[in-house]
Chains A and B, each alone.
Chain A
Amino acid sequence: MKRFGLAIGVLVFFLSPASHVAKLVAEPSNSSSTLLQSSANRDHGSLEGHVLTDAGQALSNAKVTIARMGYQGGVRARTAVTDEKGRFQINSLASGRYRVSVRAAGYVRADNAKEMKYYSPGDYIAITMLKGGVITGTVKSPSGDPLIRVPVHALRLRDSERRANIAPEAFTSRLTDDRGVYRIYGLAPGEYIVSAGGGTRSYAGFNKFERDCPTYYPSSTRQTAERISLQPGQEVSDVNIVWLGEAGQVVSGVASGPKTGQSGSSIAVALVEQATGEIRDIGNTVQEGAFAFYGVPDGEYYLIARSLTGIEKDAAISQPSPVRVAGSSVLGVRVPLLPSGSVSGRVALEPLPKEKSDRCDRRQRIRVEELILTLEREIARGEPEILWQTSRVDAAPDERGLFSVYGLTGGQYRITIAVPTEQWFTKTISITAAPVAQHKSGTDSVEAGPLASSIRIQSGGDVYMNISVAEGAARLSGRVGQTNGQASAGMSVYLVPLDRKDVDNPLRFVRTDARLDGTFAFDGIAPGKYSIFAHRVGAETASDSASSYPSPWNAAGRAFLRSEAKRSRTTVELQSCQTTPDYVVQYPRQ
């Protein structure tokens, strides 16, 4: 429980007693007061659901927060607390897409549930929380004396699905007590390294252990740190650390940029190891953008700064500044912040004209605010993957279809649009030369042409676009027919556009992974003529670095897919709203 009434987030005015007492103790006049009883207003939509533990028990008093996507200003987040049966309900919600987060002391969200998931009013939300794991042990001197008030940090390197996870929230810290005992609880399952001392002030007040290099479990440097694997709810004890107490260096400097020095702006700085991209430490600057990291071991690092103005528009991000620590402190490093880039525009919905909609049974209406736009930064080959940099941003348009995404690091971004039903598809994305007019429909602004690749976003630059989402998507499903008796596992099925106007349109290249039994399904496909073929994942080399799939987001990937399509010589034509079942794709092609 956190009490926040008189602290943060509210302004409290205490009325001076003398002149105001009369008013405060007076009866309210009947005309100006209405007494409302508890009543659920169901005029708008509501979101309800439950929170259970992985053991299937109700989790009561968990705090559920929902936040509407793409909503600017005012009431954005709403909260509810689960009852004794773990249930919650939030009423009077405007239409749109909502993100849900849950907090319960000692519990964590399952990793597979952390994929961005969005809900619309009327949806039921079932949430499972895992009992957090525990890492506990002691920190002692080489002579066996307990060390008191040593900050101990657990850093999650990999999540339960063994994906690298070096986000800042991966740090969880506690202090040793008077017996030298620490207990870090509420840990998500995964692979951890544990370190004592070193680093930034994790706790207020002077702490001598922060001035030394961190000692990693069992008694080593980062290079030889032992990894601890933590299962859901598991308690790993005797993670005992023998303190090395090696003097650490200081890395300090100033992060400054276009908006620094403004009131309310603060800058977060991360110390990232060059070789691994692993965050070693993270902290906020004090006045004038000054920062310092203590207890830094020798090594090669990047410093990355990001301003936290509270206003997304003014976000600024630095390029990684390399720093080499070798036997002495490095003071006075300048980390220049660059203004971030933005993408904004308008999404328009195109329902099918009446004469074309006959084929479409069960037409589904959608609202433009239910769409989710995702911008994903391409990590170039050889570029260190620094997860602290924003690599993926989700946004939603407002009721008028307008959207803005701020705070983007310079780079190449892919854009995808998630549509809530499979009968709609993204028809076009076109970059416009000027901001999309707020009131007119987007079609009359100057078109700079349809999207042929990922979008280049420059530092401080703004990109404008028109997006059209149309009704009448087709569906195609079937199976991969094995001609040589091989197993179908690891197959992907591709659609490559053949219509002249779309041959270079990355939105028209579609991939789906076949299930283990070889069946596959495409939903939300734009009508048109396609080449269809199956391909074994990772079998070819023309892939981008982020995955083993050939990417339609660059010319080389498209050329590769086109050449594969040419060799397959299998075409399929999909009409508006057409559903094609039982389609067999031969592999290898004959």
Chain B
Amino acid sequence: MKAVRKLSALLVLTTVSNGAGLQLRGANARGSIEGQVTLEGKPAANVTVTLDRGSIRSTEPIATALSDETGHFKFGGLEPGSYLIDAFAPALVAAGVTTSDLPRARSITLREDETVTGIDLKLTRGGVISGRILDSHRQPLIEITVDLSQIEPTGRVLRRRISSSDQVMYRTDDTGAYRIYGLPAGRYKLAVGVPAGSGVSRYEGGYYVRTFYPGVKDEAEALIVDLAAGSEVGNIDIIVDSFVRSYSILGRVVNSENGRPMTGLLCGYGAVSDSGRYIGSVASIANRTNPTGEFYIEGLPPGRYAAFVVNEGESPLYCEPTVFEITDSDLTGIEVKTRMGASLSGTVGFDDETRIEDASNLVIDLNILPPALEALRKETVQITPDLRFSAVGLRPGKAVITVRGSVGGRKVILSRIERDGVAQAEIELRKRESVSGVRLVLSWQPESR
């Protein structure tokens, strides 16, 4: 793999000391931490022990020490505070620990001038699981990440977190081989591939369908790997036969009135069911439409989707989402249209003389029925300090208005909608219609007790 390189700045304090004490904060700091490293119960010499400030193991320990011949190490000259002690020993695990989730590191809170002893790091050799990931023709699958879950004695399945310093060993090489070492004893379940998607996930090129060892899609049929302490289990090969290719779409946003490309807009998409509803969430892509109104979404698995323009705020336009179906090729020529919307404006107030000094805790929710696939648009309307509101870029339809919030700490409800002084059951918005003079009449929410 190409190395991802990162530099860091904390340097001056980083020193290797050889078992002996290390001054960290001059003569005034006199706290110290001492302990012993053992491997299989015997003192372990020359193990690099790291000292971190706080509770997270970092890339930049504030000090490191080597254990001496009796396994002992000591950090001196420490200021009060919390510290974390760990060993750089990737193939070793904490002795007696049977879950992947418990850290090997030890946390210490040090008081002023305190000497903490007995911080022992009891290590034991970790186990190894190795094998290959192959396709149905027994060809190696390269750079596939293996997912490892541990089945705890309680039956709980715990997915092993892959730390960034560990991730390389979870990934197959050019022969399809992986080798995961430093594992606590236990029962493990292995899988590769992607679980059923959420409808917005995108995949570079495509993905392999979730497959468990030795090559089954049903998790219940997965074989469990029993790993004894410090042992190696090899030939855990997983045969993967289902690859789902992904495709791209190239679309364009145009103004429906004049056919002109709409530039600088954000586009979104989401998977749509056969009945035309979104399945789960929707997402927006990072790039805005270019000067010719184009947008591009890649990495979509086959399926039915809708693409739309994200209404980012005060746009007077609404969009007509376009539904498209990806089967077995990239799509081009998808057009998403924007249209000039209707507007709705008016005032908010009580019937009586109740004055609203502060409307900042009041929100108007505005929904247009029937609903459409136009997603990711603002649906709450702000009320100005002078108790006015205005919403633009609305799709034609029936406006459903509700008011939420409180005035002076008391909850309010919307009791009535008036248009030009006449009470309305609902407000119908026609194309491009500008509806003003709407009054939202509030009343106190009845005390419910």
A interface with B by C-beta (< 8 Å): 1-6, 9-15, 19-20, 22-29, 31-41, 43, 61, 63, 73-75, 78-81, 90-92, 94, 105-106, 132, 134, 148-149, 151, 153, 169, 171-175, 177-178, 183, 185-186, 200-208, 211, 247, 250, 252, 269, 281-288, 290-293, 329, 331
Contacts and interface: CB of A to CB of B under 8 A. Distances in A.
Contacts of A153: 3
Contacts of A252: 9, 11
Given A81-B206, A134-B174, A202-B3, A286 B8 contact: yes
A185 B2 CA distance: 10
Nearest to B199: A5
B277 A201 contact: no
Nearest to A133: B174
A286 B290 CA distance: 33
A282 B208 CA distance: 34
A1 B204 contact: yes
B6 A208 contact: no
B329 A185 contact: no
Contacts of A61: 205-206, 243, 245
Contacts of A201: 5-8, 59
Interface residues of B, number: 109
A15 B320 contact: no
Contacts of A208: 48, 64, 88
Given A201-B5, A202-B4, A74 B288 contact: yes
B8 A33 contact: no
Contacts of A22: 367, 371
B204 A202 contact: no
Contact of B248 (A80, A105, A178): A80
A283 B204 CA distance: 26
Interface string B161-192: 00111101100011000010110000000000
B217 to A, nearest CB: 17
A119 to B, nearest CB: 18
Contact of B200 (A5, A27, A38, A283): A5
A212 to B, nearest CB: 10
Interface stretch (B73-81, B106-114, B330-338, B411-419): B330-338
A284 B5 contact: yes
Contacts of A5: 197-198, 200-203, 283, 299
Contacts of A34: 322-323, 335
A185 B277 contact: no
Interface in B417-444: none
Nearest to A81: B205
A77 to B, nearest CB: 8
26 contacts: A9-B286, A10-B284, A13-B284, A15-B282, A23-B367, A24-B375, A28-B321, A29-B372, A32-B320, A32-B373, A61-B206, A73-B291, A74-B292, A79-B298, A80-B330, A106-B174, A153-B3, A173-B3, A177-B181, A185-B174, A201-B5, A204-B59, A205-B165, A247-B16, A286-B8, A292-B9
B204 A4 contact: yes
Contacts of A288: 9
A78 B142 contact: no
Contacts of A28: 272, 276, 306, 321, 323, 372-373
A284 B181 contact: no
B323 A35 contact: yes
Contact of A73 (B179, B248, B290, B374): B290
A41 B201 CA distance: 26
Given A3-B203, A200-B7, A12 B373 contact: no
A33 B88 contact: no
Nearest to B86: A206
Interface in B329-380: 329-335, 365, 367, 370-376, 379
Interface in B60-76: 60-61, 64
Interface of B: 1-9, 11-12, 14, 16, 48, 50, 57-61, 64, 88, 90-91, 126, 128, 142-144, 163-166, 168-169, 173-174, 179, 181-182, 194, 197-198, 200-208, 243, 245-246, 248, 250, 263, 268, 272, 275-278, 281-292, 294-296, 298-299, 306, 320-335, 365, 367, 370-376, 379, 395
A10 B286 contact: yes
Contacts of A12: 200, 281, 283-284
B276 A10 contact: no
B434 to A, nearest CB: 21
B372 A26 contact: yes
B174 A10 contact: no
B162 to A, nearest CB: 11
Contact of A205 (B7, B57, B169, B324): B57
A197 to B, nearest CB: 13
A433 B225 CA distance: 74
B267 to A, nearest CB: 11
A400 to B, nearest CB: 12
Counting chain B CB atoms within 10 Å of each CB, the highest count among A1, A81, A206, A281 belongs to A1
A152 B151 CA distance: 34
Contacts of B335: 34
A172 B53 CA distance: 33
Contact of B204 (A2, A73, A175, A200): A2
Closest 8 CB pairs of A and B: A74-B290, A205-B165, A5-B201, A26-B371, A290-B9, A204-B164, A185-B174, A178-B181
Contacts of A94: 292
A41 B168 CA distance: 42
A79 B247 CA distance: 9
B330 A90 contact: yes
Best-surrounded residue of A105, A132, A329 (most CB of chain B within 10 A)? A105
A75 B281 contact: no
Nearest to A202: B3
Contacts of A80: 248, 330
Given A6-B201, A74-B288, A149-B90, A206 B333 contact: no
A201 B61 CA distance: 13
Contacts of A172: 1-3
Given A78-B250, A153-B3, A177-B179, A26 B294 contact: no
Nearest to A11: B284
Nearest to A146: B91
Nearest to A211: B16
Contacts of A41: 332-333
